Amino acid sequence: MSAYEGLIARYRDWLDLPAGVTPVSLLEGNTPLIRLRNIPRTLGVDADIYVKFEGLNPTGSFKDRGMTAAVSMAVHEGSRAIICA
């Protein structure tokens, strides 16, 4: 198994990015799926509910997933500075 290279490398075939885009990555994504056992029991439903633990992304935010594509495209188009809120 090869080392994880980030979202763009993993899902490039499904992303609408030009061929020449070089991924800018902090190795975002690849966060675990966690099964919630108490919520279905509390609600009295027979269901498997899972959540992603996005706090394990490099900056602790789900925004890391989208920003890797945004920053990669900005660099590809010649941006020298990027501001994100």
Domain residue limits, the chain:
7-76
Q: What is the pLDDT of residue 2?
A: 84
Q: What is the pTM of this model?
A: 0.78
Segment 9-61, tens digit of pLDDT: 999 999 999 999 999 999 999 999 999 999 999 999 999 999 999 999 999 99
Q: What is the pLDDT of residue 11?
A: 94
Amino acid letter at 12? R
Cβ(16)–Cβ(70) below 8 Å? no
CA angle 17, 19, 21 (to 5 degrees): 70
Q: What is the pLDDT of residue 85?
A: 80
